[in-house]
Amino acid sequence: MLEILMAIQEKHDKDFWSFKNASKRRGAHALIHYPAMMVPNLQGNILDAIKQASPKSQKVLDPFVGSGTVLVESMNLGLDFSGVDINPLAVLSCLVKSGPYFIDAFKDEASKLIARIRADGITRHEATFIGREKWFEEDVALGISKVARNIKDVDALWARRLFWLALARVIRACCNSRNSTYKLHIKKAADINPEADPVKAFVETIEAYKKHLKDQTVDWSEKGLLKRGRYQNSVSITVGDSTSTLEEAGQLFDVIMTSPPYGDNKTTIPYGQYAFLPLQWISAEDISPSIEASVLANAHALDTASLGGSAKNATERAEVLRNEFESVRKYLVKLSSKGSGVKRFGAFFGDLNPCIEQICNSTNLGGYHAWTIGSRHIEGIRVPMEEILEEMLDKRGMDTVGRIHRSIHAKKMAARNNLSSTMNTEIIVLAKKSAKKS
């Protein structure tokens, strides 16, 4: 596989993997804005190289599936795909992207829905939660409720999911939280638009969706991947914790392609905060009946339930990792014994370690891994995540076969979130399963 990737790079300049000149997202990739989305061309090239190196590879897993970049790239190659994420908004995105692609029916459903919304004269809130008055002007909240109320009356689940995803974009655009950050951060009074029009924004989003869905349908139909609008191979999307979900499923995969969080959500990217407001209006049962109400209880609940979200026994877990991995030992000695750095480290990597063990247990012998990771700093000291990850993989029978280093040229949001020093580069760790290790 590494030879194939090197051959690809040799045909281009040294900055090829940055994809700084990549075109805008199109098709299914363009349906949602989501924090720290992976680069489709990058993952597509790596996945294609794995297929060339291992033609029988068919089953792909992304245990931190996010908005579904790996899902769409796997579908592009006609592969079977499984994805897991604790964030219901991410799961909704993936469910939509997996299809079906009923273009004409979607247009009809959209026309009927928009007509009902415009005729709706009810002034009733469809979402009640602490902070609604802070994050939304009254008329804006009522406008969102008008859209949500009528989405619930759409009969077809596949159509409701599309409309919910469109509404998620509208909610983020019309709320009083700053668009320049993933965190919930109130706008300055002068920047709040009391006349924001959710209905108008929803109609515009639906028009954009029509184009994106048509583009994707044409592409996959030409490749023979769709039959009557349905993808011809297997897609499974699950909401939940990756460690327990994979253990319960007991499946084996040929390819693991993912980008895990770079650290706990509270101090890196708060995926839960980003999703909180849309999820107050979206019907959780339309995503999955297994969504726990507790993760939607407040703006921080989802991030607390995510990797590294709980500091319970974090210092003790850091000590266990120190004794187990040389890269951890070398790093922890640099941190202050009096600060919170060791606890923050232990909370995140203490969760990541058993998760990696389960992911490796779910990998077929000869299977490939491609981990896209970034680095973070604790107490101003860079965490060598690639070294720690490689040690954790090696312990479970994975041999590192190479790394790809890439510069990130378009992470505007990272700079605005004070993450630019840790997110201006990424490393893709490539590994292959050779044997079981104790």
Residue 186 has pLDDT above 70, yes or no: yes
E strands in 114-183:
none
**Which comes out higher in pLDDT, residue 123 or 437?**
123
The single residue listed with the structure tokens 């993912």 is 258
Q: Give, in degrees to the nearest 5, the angle at Cα 359 between 356 and 365.
A: 120
> Where does the pLDDT of residue 187 fall: very low under 50, low under 70, confident under 90, or very high at 90 and above?
very high
* Model pLDDT for residues 307-362, shown as the tens digit of each residue: 989 999 999 999 999 999 999 999 999 998 878 999 999 999 999 999 999 999 99
Measured CA distances, 121 to 112, 197, 389, 400 (Å): 16, 15, 55, 61
Q: pLDDT at position 22, please?
A: 59
Within 10 angstroms of residue 26's Cβ, the number of other Cβ atoms is: 13
Average pLDDT over residues 281-286: 98
More reliable by pLDDT, 188 or 266:
188
Would you place residue 417 in the very low, low, confident or very high pLDDT band (cuts 50, 70, 90)? very low
Provide the token pair at 74.
């796997």
Who contacts 308 (Cβ-Cβ below 8 Å, separation ≥6)?
261, 263, 264, 265, 266, 344, 347, 348, 349, 350, 351, 352
The count of other CB atoms within 10 Å of the CB of residue 307 is 23
pLDDT at residue 3 in the model: 66
pLDDT > 90? residue 98: yes
CA angle, 364 then 365 then 367, to 5°: 65
Query: Which pLDDT score is estimated for 413?
Result: 45
Question: At 380, phi and psi to the nearest 5?
Answer: 80, 5
Q: Which of 178-187, 244-253, 273-282 has the lowest mean pLDDT?
A: 178-187
Percent of the chain with pLDDT over 70: 90
Residue 309 three-state SS: coil
**Rounded mean pLDDT, 207-216:** 98
Encode pLDDT of 81-93 as tens digits.
Answer: 999 999 999 999 9
The pLDDT score that the predictor gives to residue 180 is: 81
Query: How deeply is 11 buried, as exposed, middle or buried, from its count of CB atoms within 10 A (0-12, 13-18, 19+)?
Result: exposed
What is the average pLDDT across 47-73?
Answer: 96
* pLDDT at residue 438 tops 50: no
Per-residue pLDDT, 1: 59
Residue type, 338: K
CA distance 149 to 282: 10
Query: What is the pLDDT, as a whole number, of residue 262?
Result: 72
pLDDT digit string, tens, across residues 31-51: 998 887 888 999 999 999 999
Query: Could you tell me the pLDDT band of residue 19, with boundaries at 50, 70 and 90?
Result: low
pLDDT at 13 over 90: no
In the sheet where 363-373 sits, what is the strand order?
Answer: 235-239, 80-85, 59-62, 253-258, 363-373, 425-433, 398-407
- Using DSSP's 3-state secondary structure scheme, residue 103 falls into helix
- 230 φ, ψ to 5°? -110, 140
pLDDT recorded at residue 320: 97
Q: Report the alpha-carbon distance of residue 398 to residue 432 in Å, rounded.
A: 5
Query: What would the pLDDT profile of 119-129 be if each residue is shown by its tens digit?
Result: 999 999 999 99
Q: How far is CA 120 from CA 282, 374, 390, in A?
A: 19, 47, 56
Please tell me the pTM assigned to this model. 0.92
Q: How far apart are CA 365 and CA 305, in angstroms?
A: 31
The Cα–Cα gap between 266 and 330 comes to: 25
CA–CA separation, 54 vs 207, rounded Å? 41
Q: Which range among 95-109, 144-158, 258-272, 365-379 shows the weakest confidence by mean pLDDT?
A: 258-272
Q: Which helix (H) or strand (E) holds 421?
A: helix 420-423
**Res 423: pLDDT:** 54
The pLDDT of residue 418 is 47
Q: How confident is the model at residue 6 (pLDDT cuts 50, 70, 90)?
A: low
Lowest mean pLDDT among 194-203, 239-248, 402-411: 402-411
Q: Please check whether residue 294 is in contact with residue 301, taking contact to mean a CB–CB distance below 8 angstroms.
A: yes
Average pLDDT over residues 63-76: 97
Mean of the per-residue pLDDT values of the chain = 91
